[in-house]
C-alpha cells in the first residue's frame, strides 16, 4: 500500500518537463553512486557527478571512474529498453552487464556467462560466505529465470514481488565473475519500469541497499547452507521479498518527497495541460527540450520501435494536435511541438 500510494501521488504531481529532466538526472547520479559504492567504489557523490560530466579526472581512481561511467551508460540503456516491445531477454541482461563493465563505451557485445567457479568471501576474514552454482549450470539457470519472468506464473504476482524474486535468483546464480552487484539492480529496475513502476524514471533502489549493506546481505542470505546446491536453491525467500518491498516503499516515498518539493517551486498551471497527454507524449517532450524539431528516427530510438511504427505514432500525434509537420520532405520529414504545448518546456 505504501508503494501504491507513492506511485499514485507521483503520477499526479504537476511536474514540468524541465523539472522532470532535473529530477531524473539526480536519480541517475544517485543510482550510479550507490550501486558502484556497494562494490567498493571510493568516489564521493560529488566526484561521481564530475566524472559523468567529464569535468574532472581523479588520478589513481581510474577503475572507479570506469565503473561510474559504465553504470551510467547501462542506466541510460535501461530507459531505452523499458519502452521496447517484447519480453526481457538474456541478451538484454548480458548487454547491461557488458555496459557495466565497458567503462562508458556505448557499443558493446553481450557478455558470456562465467566459465568457471566463482566464490564469494568475507573481505575481512577470507571465509567463504557463498558458493554459487557451477559454471555448467549458469546458462540453464539464467534461461529459466528469464523464461519465468516472461511466464504466466510470474504474471500472477504483483510487479514488485516479481522483481524482488528475479533480483534474488540473479544474485543466487551469480552469473559473472565481476559486476553482478551492479547488474542486478539494473535488471530489477528494468522489470519495474516494464511493469509500470518507473516513477517517471526517478526510482533509485541502490541508495536503500547501500545505506545498510549488512542488512542487504543478511536479507539475501537464506537457506541452511552457503552452498547453492545444499539449500539456497530451494530456500524460503519470504525474508528477502519483505526486505525488497520495504526498500521499494522507502525509495518511492523519497521520490515522492523530492517530486512534491520540485512541483511546489514549479509552474502548477501547466499540470492540466500535461495531463491531457499520453504517457508516450509526455516522454517525447524530452526530445523537444533538446531540439525544436524531431524525426521518426528519434521516436524509434526513444521507444525502441520500428520505423513504420514510429511513423504511425507521429501521424496520430499530428492528427491529435500534439505536433505539427515542420518540414514535409518525404525522406527527412521533421515535426515540431504544437504551439499550445510549447509553454510546458
Distance, in Å, from the CA atom of 56 to the CA atom of 53, rounded to the nearest integer, reads 8
Q: Is position 269 within any domain?
A: no
What does the pLDDT look like over 10-48, one tens digit per residue? 888 777 666 777 777 888 888 898 888 888 888 988 898
Provide the pLDDT for residue 40. Answer: 84
Phi, psi angles (nearest 5°) of residue 128: -70, 125
CATH number of the domain enclosing 298: 1.10.10.10
Q: Is position 176 within any domain?
A: yes
Query: DSSP character for 331?
Result: S
**pLDDT for 327 beyond 60:** yes
CATH number of the domain enclosing 105: 1.10.3290.10
Q: Are 70 and 35 in contact (CB under 8 A)?
A: no
Q: Please report where in the chains the cell 508503494 appears, as a residue.
A: 3
Q: Give the distance from CA 87 to its chain's centroid.
A: 15
290 and 235 co-located in one domain = no
Residues 6+ apart with CB under 8 A from 264: none
303 and 246 co-located in one domain = no
Q: Is position 171 within any domain?
A: yes
157 and 204 co-located in one domain = yes
Range of the domain at 33: 2-263
Q: What's the average model confidence in pLDDT over 50-76? A: 88
Residues 6+ apart with CB under 8 A from 30: 45, 204, 206, 207
Q: Is position 286 within any domain?
A: yes
Q: Is position 271 within any domain?
A: no
Phi, psi angles (nearest 5°) of residue 4: -65, -40
- Hey, is 113 helix, strand or coil? coil
85 and 167 co-located in one domain = yes
10 and 110 co-located in one domain = yes
Query: End of a domain among 238, 263, 288?
Result: 263
Provide the pLDDT for residue 225. Answer: 84
Distance, in Å, from the CA atom of 208 to the CA atom of 34, rounded to the nearest integer, reads 9
Radius of gyration in angstroms for the set of CA atoms belonging to the chain, rounded to a whole number = 21
Q: Is position 121 within any domain?
A: yes
The more confidently predicted of residues 314 and 290 is 314
Query: End of a domain among 263, 289, 310?
Result: 263
25 and 147 co-located in one domain = yes
Q: Is position 80 within any domain?
A: yes
Longest dimension (CA), the chain: 68
The burial class, CB within 10 Å (0-12 / 13-18 / 19+), for 327 is exposed
Query: End of a domain among 263, 288, 307?
Result: 263
- Hey, is 129 helix, strand or coil? strand
179 and 231 co-located in one domain = yes
Helix, strand, coil shares of the chain, percent, nearest 5, are: 65, 5, 30
Q: How many residues does the chain have?
A: 345
Query: CA of 60: how far to CAs of 40, 44, 53, in Å?
Result: 15, 14, 19
Domains identified in the chain, total number: 2
Hey, what's the cell of 216? 542487504
- Hey, is 53 helix, strand or coil? coil
64 and 210 co-located in one domain = yes
What does the pLDDT look like over 176-212, one tens digit per residue? 999 999 999 999 999 999 998 988 778 788 888 888 8
Q: Is position 52 within any domain?
A: yes
Global confidence as pTM: 0.76
**pLDDT for 265 beyond 70:** no
321 and 214 co-located in one domain = no
64 and 87 co-located in one domain = yes
259 and 281 co-located in one domain = no
Residue 269's pLDDT band, with cuts at 50, 70 and 90, is very low
229 and 288 co-located in one domain = no
Amino acid at each position: 500500500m505504501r508503494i501504491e500510494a507513492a506511485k499514485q501521488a507521483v503520477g499526479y504531481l504537476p511536474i514540468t518537463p524541465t523539472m522532470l529532466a532535473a529530477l531524473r538526472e539526480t536519480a541517475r547520479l544517485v543510482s550510479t553512486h550507490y550501486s558502484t559504492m556497494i562494490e567498493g567504489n571510493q568516489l564521493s557523490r560529488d566526484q561521481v557527478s564530475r566524472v559523468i560530466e567529464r569535468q574532472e579526472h581523479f588520478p589513481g581512481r581510474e577503475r572507479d571512474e570506469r565503473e561510474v561511467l559504465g553504470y551510467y551508460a547501462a542506466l541510460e540503456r535501461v530507459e531505452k529498453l523499458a519502452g521496447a516491445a517484447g519480453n526481457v531477454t538474456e541478451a538484454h541482461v548480458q548487454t547491461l552487464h557488458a555496459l557495466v563493465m565497458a567503462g562508458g563505451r556505448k557499443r558493446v557485445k553481450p557478455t558470456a556467462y562465467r566459465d568457471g567457479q566463482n566464490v564469494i568471501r568475507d573481505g575481512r576474514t577470507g571465509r567463504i560466505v557463498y558458493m554459487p552454482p557451477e559454471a555448467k549450470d549458469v546458462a540453464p539457470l539464467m534461461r529459466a529465470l528469464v523464461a519465468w519472468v516472461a511466464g504466466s506464473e510470474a504474471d500472477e504476482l504483483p510487479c514488485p514481488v516479481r522483481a524482488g524474486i528475479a533480483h534474488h535468483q540473479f544474485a543466487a546464480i551469480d552469473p559473472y565473475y565481476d559486476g553482478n552487484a551492479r547488474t542486478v539492480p539494473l535488471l530489477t529496475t528494468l522489470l519495474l519500469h516494464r511493469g509500470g513502476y518507473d516513477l517517471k524514471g526517478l526510482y533509485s533502489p541502490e541508495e536503500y541497499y547501500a545505506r545498510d549493506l549488512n542488512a542487504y546481505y543478511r536479507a539475501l542470505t537464506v537457506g541452511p547452507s552457503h552452498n547453492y546446491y545444499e539449500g539456497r536453491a530451494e530456500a524460503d525467500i519470504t525474508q528477502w521479498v519483505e526486505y525488497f518491498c520495504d526498500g521499494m516503499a522507502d525509495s518511492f516515498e523519497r521520490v515522492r518527497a523530492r517530486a512534491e518539493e520540485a512541483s511546489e517551486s514549479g509552474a502548477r498551471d501547466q499540470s492540466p495541460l500535461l495531463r491531457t497527454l499520453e504517457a508516450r507524449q509526455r516522454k517525447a517532450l524530452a526530445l523537444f527540450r533538446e531540439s525544436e524539431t524531431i524525426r521518426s528516427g528519434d521516436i524509434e530510438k526513444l521507444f525502441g520501435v520500428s520505423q513504420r511504427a514510429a511513423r504511425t505514432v507521429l501521424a496520430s500525434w499530428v492528427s491529435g494536435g500534439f505536433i505539427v509537420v515542420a518540414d514535409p520532405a518525404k525522406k527527412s520529414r521533421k515535426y515540431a511541438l504544437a504551439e499550445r504545448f510549447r509553454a510546458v518546456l
